Amino acid sequence: MAKYKIVTPAGVSFTVSGGGYAYEMEALDGMDAEIVELPANEADFIAGSRDADAIYAKGMTFTKAMIDALPEKCRGIVLGTVGVDYVDVAAATARGFPVTNCPDTFIEEVADHAMALLLGAHRRLIEQDRMVREGRWREGRPQLLKIPRLMGSTLGFISFGHTARLTALRAKAFGLRLIAYDPFIEELIMPQSGAEPASLEEVLKQSDFISKHAPATPEAQGMLKEHHFRMMKPTAIFINTGRGPTVDEAALVTALQQGWIAGAALDVLATEPPRQDNPLLQMKNVTLSPHNASASARFDPARRRRVGQELALVLSGRWPMSCVNPTVLPKGSLRRWQPYSMERGPNS
């Protein structure tokens, strides 16, 4: 039996199946640790994790009951994702377990995707493609003659964490004016990325494009409602690469149907995958992708190696590199081994 037992649900998370745990084990080499798969249901996972030294969370919701059943010796709950909405972080915090994520492993890809959605929606790329394929060649140019010039337009950010800042870097090259709203980040951070600090109302009213990057925290749940969409310009395009539940989707549908905004480009939806009767699927002014903004050839190896690094740190008694509930760290048995950036907030 290995010295350290890491338990994880059997099966895949949300990327590719199979492949074992070779990437995760690279950082654990020589530590006498093993990753043990347990059935991906609450009762069986609780029964099999009572002697766990760490949890590799993936593939299922980690409830308060599951976390409360973990032994005192458990040193952390490690995730291979940016979002942590499938783990009860409050329950983990109450038990003193650090919860780690991957806030900086594949954010370049998400920023690329956000910019691609903005450009594709602005230039009506999907509609233009259909026109060519359907023999409506001559309709393409008249449609684009009605859209404003991109340079000089305003891009507003709702949430200005790492991904939004990288999106801002890309947007600056296109000559966009940048403004940002984020009550959890110092305003001094925004000008460093070329963005002017603004209130939520200012972002909604002034922006030609609104890029939402908010994580699915309790505070952000359903934060954009009908009255927010009514504030937007009728020519505005709404982009979301954050989380679907941060938006009242029914209000977004109404805004698109009633012409309160011109269009939307969405990588995330309230329910994933969406039901086929979701009105967004039938709208010509909506561009959709299947929650794959972070995907690239680098995605799986990079995030899984990061998981292994975090597991190795906590099992060797050290603070993890990323922690979404950092208040547990000074109170726990893990030791601080490097300067800890207080700029990073939960799930940033």
Do residues 249 and 269 lie in contact, with contact meaning Cβ atoms separated by under 8 Å? Answer: yes
| Rounded Cα gap, residues 107 and 39, in angstroms | 31
> How big is the CA angle at 220 (ends 217 and 226), to the nearest 5 degrees?
150
Q: Cβ distance 238 to 212 under 8 Å?
A: yes
User: Catalytic site residues?
Assistant: 243, 272, 291
Of 162, 202, 148, 149, residue with least CA distance to 180: 202
Cα separation of 296 and 16, whole Å?
12
**311 touches 24 (CB < 8 A):** yes
Tell me which residue of 68, 32, 7 sits closest to 312, measured CA to CA. 32
Strands (E) in the chain, as ranges, are 4-9, 33-38, 54-57, 77-79, 99-100, 154-158, 177-181, 195-197, 209-212, 237-240, 263-266, 286-288
Q: What angle do CA 185, 289, 147 make, to 5 degrees?
A: 80
Report the 10 Å Cβ neighbour count for 94.
14
Torsion over CA: 196, 197, 203, 209 (sign): positive
Given a contact cutoff of 8 angstroms between Cβ atoms, the answer to whether 255 and 229 are in contact is yes
One-letter amino acid at 268 equals V
